[in-house]
Structures are given as structure tokens and as C-alpha cells.
Amino acid sequence: MKTQSVLDKQSIIVLTLLAAAATLVPVLNGLIAPNSALYLPDHLVLMLGKYICFALLALSVDLIWGFCGILSLGHGAFFALGGYAMGMYLMRQIGSRGVYAHPVLPDFMVFLNWKELPWFWYGFDVLPFAMLMVLLVPGILAFIFSWLAFRSRVTGVYLSIITQAMTYALMLAFFRNDMGFGGNNGLTDFKDILGFPLQSASTRLVLFVLSVVALGAGYLLCRWLVSSKFGKVLVAVRNAESRTRFLGYRVEHYKLAVFTISAMLAGIAGALYVPQVGIINPSEFAPANSIELVIWVAVGGRGTLAGAILGALAVNAGKTWFTGALPEFWLFALGGLFVFVTLFMPRGILGAGQDLWERTKRVLGSKPSPEAVSQAAE
């Protein structure tokens, strides 16, 4: 079975654009004078950093939905768990600089009269351990969930509903003060990371560049997976699961692996998101967030990887404009966009662009050359 190259034309374009963003944004923010028309303000750097994290999250959804046919309506849960793991590390760095000046307990624990640090907070004062948890916590949850679901051959709309129920249950649990994660206020008031202040412009630029690097690495990982034999089996599962199983493939194993990898990518996106926005709370588990990120993928182009990135960037840019100019119309615009794409652009923006390009090439290729016209005239 022949596989596609990881660095195809589309991948080269994506990586080139990401490299340009990682270079231009620091230059326009750090080296250009603030009174220049080319200057990029700090708040735009933060906004772009958020968009990049959302793009990585959308990429994780496209990996399972676009190539394996697994529609998860609860992927925001893995994003939030990765964010909480990073938030716990950042809370441990505050120490005696908090409102209640306790060297070990976070402020909300002192406020709630906790006497000692819960066992599941141990180790989060060390960044490598926290980053390990960013991968393991979403990965283990996804592994257990998918093992139970795929072993029972739960598919289609039933699986989507179960994933939505999972993230809703987690949201309700994290709202409880006795869970030890800050309740409805969540984790916030972060000071620094590795000793560097989070409010510093240079720290924000580094976080932006790290987010771009993570997105590029995530894209290459996903492209490598879908270009390999593993990816061919995923597409076969998407198109004809029963036939693939009858051919001797352990379908549940492939679905288990890709779902776990996807959840870990979502956790990384959440971990990069939290230090840039400065807060993580249970609202990130809201099922509406998971539904919205599915719309990002559909708008950009399901099953293309690059389309997921494009959709996340485009929809969130539109959301920023709408919520500032016409906030009451944003949900109507989002719903209308989804209906329009479903009816008129089922392959999303990227797919529609590719179709237009192919039609244009066919039209141009069908025109006779000037030499043929002159010969016919003679």
C-alpha cells in the first residue's frame, strides 16, 4: 500500500506560514516602535496565541473525526484537563506572594480553611512533572473512556452523546469546592513561569512562539499518522468499519490509539492556553465549547488537517469581531455559518478552494493553444 509523503505541498505551505508567524510576530511586537503603523500591540499577541492554541485543539478533533469518523462532542474536556494541570503548576509557583501569603497552599484552599495540600497536588511545583500530567491525565481518561466505548462497539450519535455527557459531568464535578480545584472561580492570579513574569511582553512572545512550535509539531505528527499505513486503516474504518473488521483488523485498537493521541494533543493545547489567558475554570468543560470546536473543523475542512487550523483561526477571528461589534448576533452568525457550510460547502473552506482550483485548471487546460488556433485558421 503506497503512502503519501509527510512533507507534501500542503504541509510545506502550512509549516512556512507557521514559521513566518513565529518570526514576524516577535519582530513586529518587540523590535518595531510603538508609534509605527507596523507595531503589533501586546493584546494582539495574546489574542493570536489563543488562536494558535485553538488551532491545535481543532487539529486534534480533525484527526479523529476527519480521518476515523469519530465525532467527539466532549473534546473540550481534554483541553480543560491539560489547562488545569498547567494551572496547578502556576498556582504552586505563587507561594507566599498570594493574598493569604501561604507558602504551600493556594489562596482558595486557605480561604476554604484547608489544612494541608491534597495528595493530587504533590509534584506540581516542578514543571517537568506538570507537563507529564498534561499528557497523562487527558491520555489516561481518553484511554479508559475509549476502551470501554469501542470495546462495546458504541459508535455514531451514541458515542457523541456519551462524550458530551462526560464533559458535562466533569464540569459539574469541577464546580464543587471540595474537589480541590478552585470551584467555580477556578485557578487564576498566576505570577510567573520558570521565574519569568507572565505579564512581561517577552514572556508572552515566548509563549506565542512555543504555541506555534507545538502547532507545527502537532501538524507533522498528525500528517505522519494519516500518511502511514495506520492512517489508511483509520480511513478504512471511517468509510466501512464492518468491512475493515471482517478483513482482520482490530478496529477498536486503532480507534483507541487515535482517540488517546488526540486527547493528549488537546491537553497540550490547554496547557499552552492557560498561561496566556491567565485563568482556567470549569466553564472550559462546557459542552457548548466542544460543539463549537467541531464547527471550526467543519468550516475549515474536515479530513484535511490544514482546514482544521484554518477554520479555528477564521471562526475565532470572526468571533472576536462579532462579540465586540454585534455581541447579541454572534450565536446566530455561528449557527448560520455552520448551516451554510453544511449545505453549500460540505468540504469546508479548504475543500471548496481546492475544488475551485481544480475546475479552473480544467477550464484553462481545455482552451486551445494559440498555435492550434493559427493552424486551424490556415
pLDDT in tens, 81-140: 999 999 999 999 998 888 888 888 999 999 889 999 999 999 999 999 999 999 999 999
Percent of the chain with pLDDT over 70: 95
**Residue 7: what pLDDT?**
76
Residue 1 has pLDDT above 80, yes or no: no
Which tops the pLDDT comparison, 373 or 196? 196
Instruction: Name every residue whose Cβ is closer than 8 Å to that of residue 10 and which is 6 or more positions away in sequence.
Output: 304, 305, 306
Is residue 374 very low, low, confident or very high in pLDDT (cuts 50, 70, 90)? low
- 94 domain residue, yes or no: yes
- 244 domain residue, yes or no: yes
- 201 domain residue, yes or no: yes
Residue 231's nearest CA partner among 77, 27, 8, 32 is: 8
Residue 371 has pLDDT above 90, yes or no: no
**Residue 375: what pLDDT?**
52
**Residue 351: what pLDDT?**
85
- 4 domain residue, yes or no: no
- 120 domain residue, yes or no: yes
Cell 504552586 -> residue: 92
Per-residue pLDDT reduced to its tens digit, 197-215: 999 999 999 999 999 999 9
- 262 domain residue, yes or no: yes
**Residue 138: what pLDDT?**
97
Q: Rounded to whole angstroms, how far apart are CA atoms 236 and 256?
A: 15
Lowest mean pLDDT, pick from 67-76, 162-171, 225-234, 343-352: 343-352
Residue 337 has pLDDT above 60, yes or no: yes
> How many domains does one find in the chain?
1
- SS3 state of residue 271: helix
Q: Show the domain range for 241.
A: 9-287
**What's the average model confidence in pLDDT over 218-225?**
96
What mean pLDDT value characterizes the chain? 91
**Residue 4: what pLDDT?**
58
Percent of the chain with pLDDT over 90: 76
Q: What is the pTM of this model?
A: 0.93
Residue 12 has pLDDT above 80, yes or no: yes
**Residue 370: what pLDDT?**
56
- CB environment 230-247: b (16+ within 10 A), e (fewer): ebbbbbbbbeebeebeee
**Residue 366: what pLDDT?**
62
The strand ranges marked E within the chain are 187-188, 192-193, 196-197, 279-280
- 352 domain residue, yes or no: no
Instruction: Name every residue whose Cβ is closer than 8 Å to that of residue 126 and which is 6 or more positions away in sequence.
Output: 89
How many helices (H) and strands (E) the chain has is answered by 15, 4
**Residue 368: what pLDDT?**
59
- 269 domain residue, yes or no: yes
